[in-house]
Chain A
Amino acid sequence: MIKNIYNLGDAALYCDFGNTVNKETNLKVINYFNDIRKKNITGIKNIAPSYNKLIIYFDLELTNYKKIKDTVENLDISTFEETKTKVVKIPVCFDDEFALDLERVEKRAGLVKKEIVNQLISQKYFCYMTGFIAGMPFLGDIKEKIRLDRLETPRVKVPKGSVGITEQFCNIYTFESPGGWNIVGNSPKKVFTKDPNKLTLIDPGDEVEFFEISKKEYSKFNEQK
Chain B
Amino acid sequence: MSKNSFKVLRPGINTTFQDLGRDNLYHVGLPFSGAIDKRNFLIANSLVTNREDDAVLEFAYQGPLLEFYGSQISIAITGNVNFKIIKKDTSEIKGECYRTYNLDNKDCLDIISTEKSVYGYLSVKGGFEINKFCNSYSTTVRAEVGPNDGKKIEIGQTIILNAVDSAIEKSLEYLNSKIEFIRVIKGTNFDYFSENSIKDFTSKDFIVSKLTDRMGMRLSGPKIKNLKKTNIKSEGLGKGVIQVPADGDPIVMLSDHGTIGGYPKIAVVISADYDKLAQCPPGEKIKFKIVNLTEAENLYKIYTMETKNIINKIR
Please report A residues at the B interface, Cβ cutoff 8 Å.
6-12, 14, 19, 21, 33, 37, 45-55, 57, 60-61, 64-65, 129-136, 138, 174-175, 177, 192, 194, 196, 199-200, 204
Contacts and interface: CB of A to CB of B under 8 A. Distances in A.
15 contacts: A8-B238, A9-B185, A9-B238, A11-B238, A49-B236, A51-B235, A52-B233, A55-B236, A61-B304, A131-B29, A132-B258, A135-B28, A192-B29, A199-B28, A199-B30
Q: What 3 A-B pairs have minimum CB-CB distances, sorted nearest first?
A: A48-B236, A9-B268, A134-B143
Given A46-B32, A134-B143, A134-B145, 11 more contacts: A8-B187, A45-B32, A48-B236, A48-B238, A48-B259, A50-B235, A52-B233, A53-B235, A64-B297, A130-B29, A132-B234
B240 interface: yes
Contacts of A194: 133, 144-145
A47 B28 CA distance: 10
Contacts of A134: 28-30, 140, 142-143, 145
Contact of A47 (B27, B134, B270): B27
A33 B27 contact: yes
B27 A57 contact: no
Interface in B147-172: none
A10 B296 contact: yes
Nearest to B265: A8
A31 B187 CA distance: 26
Contact of A9 (B26, B133, B269): B269
A204 B27 contact: yes
B302 interface: no
A192 B265 CA distance: 28
Contacts of B26: 46-48, 55, 57, 131
Nearest to A64: B297
Nearest to B242: A9
Given A10-B185, A51-B234, A135 B27 contact: no
A131 B259 contact: yes
B236 A50 contact: yes
Interface in B232-259: 233-238, 240-241, 258-259
Contacts of A204: 27
Nearest to B291: A10
Contacts of B29: 130-136, 174, 192, 200
A8 B27 contact: no
A65 B300 CA distance: 13
Given A8-B241, A60-B271, A131 B300 contact: no
A135 B26 CA distance: 10
A180 to B, nearest CB: 10
A46 B268 contact: no
A47 B30 CA distance: 11
Contacts of B185: 7, 9-10
Given A14-B188, A50-B236, A130 B28 contact: yes
A159 to B, nearest CB: 15
A134 B25 CA distance: 9
Interface string B260-283: 110001001111000000000000
A138 B27 CA distance: 12
A55 B32 CA distance: 14
Interface string B6-32: 000000000000000001111111101
Contacts of A8: 187-188, 238, 241, 265, 268
Nearest to A9: B268
B23 A196 contact: no
Contacts of B235: 48, 50-53, 55
B233 A21 contact: yes
Nearest to A192: B143
A118 B174 CA distance: 65
A131 B188 contact: no
A39 to B, nearest CB: 13
Contacts of B260: 48, 50, 129, 131-132, 138
Contacts of A47: 24, 26-27
Contacts of A129: 27, 234, 260
Contacts of B23: 45-46
A135 B145 CA distance: 12
Contacts of B93: none
Interface string B164-199: 000000000000000000000101100000000000
A136 B142 CA distance: 13
Nearest to A21: B233
Contacts of B145: 134, 194
A182 B298 CA distance: 47
